[in-house]
Amino acid sequence: MAGEEISSFKEFQKIGHSAFILGYTGKVGKALTKELAKAKLFKKVFLIGRRQVQLDGDIGEEFEQIVVDFEKIEDYADIFKDIDVGFCCLGTTTKNGTESFVRVDHDYVIKSAELAKSGGCKHFNFISTKWADRNGTLLYIKTKGQVEEALKVMHFNRLSVFRPGGILGHRDDSRLTETVATFFLKPVTFLFPTAITIPVEMFAKAMIKNTVTPADHPVEILENKDIHAISGSLTMCHTDQKQAAD
Contact 100, 59 (CB under 8 A): no
Q: What is the mean pLDDT of residues 80-107?
A: 94
Q: What burial letters (b/e) apply to 66-91, b meaning 16+ CB within 10 Å?
A: eebebeebeebeebbeebbbbbbbbb
Residue 144 annotated in active site: yes
Q: What is the pLDDT of residue 5?
A: 75
Active-site choice (30, 144, 205, 209): 144
Query: Is 180's pLDDT higher than 50?
Result: no
Tell me how far apart the terminal alpha carbons of the chain are, to the nearest angstrom: 16
Residue 108 annotated in active site: no
Q: What is the pLDDT of residue 119?
A: 98
Quick check: pTM over 0.75? yes
| Helix (H) or strand (E) run with residue 159 in it | strand 158-163
Q: Which domain holds residue 50?
A: 3-245
Q: What is the mean pLDDT of residues 107-112?
A: 98
The domain tally of the chain equals 1
Active-site choice (38, 122, 140, 142): 140
Q: What is the mean pLDDT of residues 175-195?
A: 47
Q: Cα(187)–Cα(156) distance, rounded to whole angstroms? A: 39
The CATH number covering residue 44 comes to 3.40.50.720
Contact 160, 212 (CB under 8 A): no
Q: What is the pLDDT of residue 55?
A: 92
Contact 63, 37 (CB under 8 A): yes
Query: Is 226's pLDDT higher than 60?
Result: yes
